[in-house]
């Protein structure tokens, strides 16, 4: 994701395994929200309203205090207050943002970010983070990169005070071997125009048919107002349900992770 705001074990797979062999069937559609809205008092109220109005919807919320957890051992008082509120909801899973720069970022720095998130629960149990969102994961396969990602996954699984979920975000369809290294992979992060142009949707549907949408996610921004405010968004959601088990859709064209789109968020939760 280009916009920043302020004990699952290591997977051991046959070289011929596919994602579908790991799945027990499709999960209910989940709302995946890059929650980069700064939590000043009342700023997340629209989110709480959606979470309570639709308790059957699962929410994965990616928090990103400062391009990761930040330099301090605990988030500021605003994040502390709001994360404690969110962790009360049984249909919410909070995961922490970590950028890896397409595996060029120092592994030591990545593991330090993970340790920082884990340390939050040591200072206050209600701040527990339930997994890690790895941004800027590669799409082209390299065995050294695979080992780098496996080390991160193993560290998350073995770290006290941290949930085990690992989400990769290449933002496009990666080599299938990378799909095996994450609980969920964002296989599309782009505009509505890109999604609906050419063979993009057919390629995503083919991927889901081969590997099941259960472990796939899509993020779509810049949805035209005519689509976002009408029946077209329902048709879009029907298309996305064929592709992914976790989705995020917004009509915002800029700062789309730093601001809520309340109307579309309501449609999203109501129709998925």
Per-run averaged pLDDT (10 residues), the chain, 272 residues: 43 34 50 96 95 93 96 93 97 98 98 97 94 98 98 97 97 96 98 96 96 94 88 88 94 93 79 69
Q: What is the pLDDT of residue 151?
A: 98
Q: Which of 96, 167, 158 is nearest to 128 (CA)?
A: 96
- The phi, psi pair for 140, rounded to 5°, reads -85, 135
Angle between helices 45-53 and 262-271 (to 10 degrees): 20
Residue 10: the pLDDT is 35
Burial profile 149-158: b = 16 or more Cβ within 10 angstroms, e = fewer: beebbebbbe
Let me know how long the chain is.
272
Element of type H or E holding 122: helix 107-123
Residue 152: the pLDDT is: 98
Report residue 54 as tokens: 């639709």
- DSSP code of residue 25: S
Collapsing DSSP to helix, strand or coil, 135 comes out as strand
Residue 28's pLDDT is 53
3-state secondary structure of 268: helix
pTM value? 0.89
- Which of 69, 126, 129, 132 shows the shortest CA–CA distance to 94? 129
Number of separate helices (H) and strands (E) present in the chain: 10, 8
- Please give the domain boundaries of the chain with CATH numbers for all domains: 26-271 (3.20.20.80)
**pLDDT given for residue 64 in this prediction:** 97
Instruction: Give me the residues paired with residue 247 across strands.
Output: 31, 218
At 272 the pLDDT is: 65
The token pair at 160 is 């006290």
Please give the helix or strand (H or E) that residue 115 lies within, else none: helix 107-123
């Amino acid at each position: 994701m280009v916009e920043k705001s302020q004990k699952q074990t290591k997977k051991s797979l046959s070289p011929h395994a596919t994602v579908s062999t790991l799945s027990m069937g499709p999960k209910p559609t989940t709302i995946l929200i890059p929650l980069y809205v700064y939590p000043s008092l009342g700023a997340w109220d629209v989110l709480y309203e959606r979470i309570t109005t639709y308790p059957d919807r699962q929410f994965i919320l990616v928090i990103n205090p400062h391009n990761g957890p930040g330099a301090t051992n605990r988030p500021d008082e605003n994040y502390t207050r709001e994360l404690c509120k969110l962790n009360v909801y049984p249909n919410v899973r909070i995961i922490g943002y970590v950028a890896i720069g397409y595996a060029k970022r120092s592994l030591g720095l990545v593991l330090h970010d993970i340790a920082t998130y884990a340390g939050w629960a040591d200072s206050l149990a209600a701040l527990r983070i339930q997994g890690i969102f790895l941004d800027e994961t590669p799409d082209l396969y390299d065995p050294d990169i695979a080992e780098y990602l496996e080390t991160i996954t193993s560290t998350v699984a073995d770290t006290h005070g941290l949930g085990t979920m690992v989400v990769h975000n290449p933002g496009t369809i990666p080599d299938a071997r990378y799909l095996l290294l994450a609980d969920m992979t964002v296989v599309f992060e782009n505009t509505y125009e890109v999604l609906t142009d050419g063979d993009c949707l057919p390629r995503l549907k083919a991927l889901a048919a081969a590997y099941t949408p259960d472990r796939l996610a899509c993020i779509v921004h810049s949805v035209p107002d005519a689509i976002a405010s009408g029946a077209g968004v329902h048709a879009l959601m029907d298309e996305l349900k064929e592709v992914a088990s976790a989705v995020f859709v917004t009509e915002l064209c800029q700062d789309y992770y730093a601001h809520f789109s309340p109307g579309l968020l309501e449609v999203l939760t109501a129709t998925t």
